[in-house]
Amino acid sequence: MISVRDLQKTYHMGDIAVRALKGVALEIGAGEFVAIMGPSGSGKSTFMNILGCLDKPTSGEYILDGFQVSGMSDDELAAIRNRRIGFVFQTFNLIPRRPAIKQVMLPMMYNPAAREVEACAVAALERVGLGARIHHRPNELSGGQQQRVAIARALVNNPAIILGDEPTGNLDTRTSEEIMAIFQELHAEGKTIIIVTHEEDIARHAQRIIRFKDGHIIVDEPVAARVAAREVLAKLPAEDEEEDA
């Protein structure tokens, strides 16, 4: 499904060239759940942004669903971001002052095939347990709730791949676990999921861990003892956060 070969990315800052990716090769099959780890500055975000078609590699090949992404036009890349990939950010990246439903409707505005936009948005919000918060604005939502809105937004055009760059990076343990529960459910439904994380606990929710160092992949291993978020949540002391999931 995803195949990259000798992917390189060099940032130029004045005279200094920063080599963020120094030849990354990787295959990720459909339906996999992958966690990417590695020290700060090792190139994880750079890699994710290229996978998400937000950025272009300096050289190398990126093949998505059999299509060469490297040579695509801006409009084709936009279409991929819109329909094939859902991106979840560490900082949520919601548009200020807009109710949740409007946030989730946004990707459908750029999708000519989208029908019953409002109903789909409500369904996506219910899917992430925010059915009762569809008219809340970002500043009226907790961090975890904002990230759920962002996930609903990433889901709404029904992409096969969900990418998350430290999706739980700004959240506490329990909320992180709730978000991971959603990712695991989506994975169970057949989506391909790739997340970046700094926490081993979070990474162990995935099936496979890829470790970056200094712009290279140094480890690529399956997860031995996989964690089920629902089970962890059940063991955590109950909090009276009223959820309608």
Partner 1 sequence: MNLWESVLVALEGLAANKLRSALTMLGVIIGVFAVIAMLAIAEGTRVQMMSSIQSMGTDVVMIFSGGGRRGGGGGPARGGFGSTQSLTLDDAYAIADDCPSVLAVAPEAGANAQVKYRSQNTNTQVLGTTADYPGVRNYKVASGKFFSNSDVRSSSRVAVIGYDTATELFAQLTPVGKDIRINGSRFRVIGVLAQKGSQGGFGNPDDQILIPVTTAMNRLFGLENVRMISARATASDTLTQAQEEITRLLRKRHRLASGAEDDFRIMTQTEFMSFANEAATIFSVLLGGVAALSLLVGGIGIMNIMLVSVTERTREIGIRMALGARRRDILLQFLVESVVLSLAGGGIGVLLGLLLVAWTGAFAAETLGSTPVVSTVSIVLSFSFSAAVGIIFGVYPALKAARLDPIDALRYE
Residues that bind partner 1 (CB under 8 A): 49, 52, 54-55, 74-75, 78-79, 81-83, 87, 89, 93-97, 106-107, 109-111, 153, 157
Tell me how far, at minimum, the Cβ of 125 lies from partner 1, in Å: 16
- Is 146 a binder of Mg ion (CB under 5 A)? no
Kindly list the residues in this chain that would bind ligand ATP in the complex (CB under 6 A): 11, 13, 18, 20, 38, 40-46
154 close to 121: Cβ distance less than 8 angstroms: no
Nearer to partner 1, 9 or 205 (CB): 9
Map 11-77 to HEC letters.
EEECCEEEEEEEEEEEEECCCCEEEEECCCCCCHHHHHHHHCCCCCCCEEEEEECCEECCCCCHHHH
Given partner 1, ligand ATP, Mg ion, none, residue 75, with its beta carbon under 5 to 8 Å by kind, binds: partner 1
Nearer to ligand ATP, 36 or 101 (CB): 36
Residue 193, CA distances (Å) to 150, 169, 204 in order: 15, 17, 13
Given Mg ion, ligand ATP, partner 1, none, residue 107, with its beta carbon under 5 to 8 Å by kind, binds: partner 1
Tell me how far, at minimum, the Cβ of 176 lies from Mg ion, in Å: 16
231 close to 225: Cβ distance less than 8 angstroms: no
Tell me how far, at minimum, the Cβ of 78 lies from partner 1, in Å: 4
Beta pairing, strands 216-222 & 59-64: unpaired
Tell me how far, at minimum, the Cβ of 46 lies from Mg ion, in Å: 8
Q: Which of 7, 32, 38, 45 binds Mg ion (CB under 5 A)?
A: 45
**Which candidate, 28, 115, 112, places its Cα nearest to that of 75?**
112
Tell me how far, at minimum, the Cβ of 167 lies from ligand ATP, in Å: 13
The amino acid present at 148, given as its one-letter code, is R
183 close to 162: Cβ distance less than 8 angstroms: yes
* Interacting residues toward Mg ion by CB under 5 A: 45
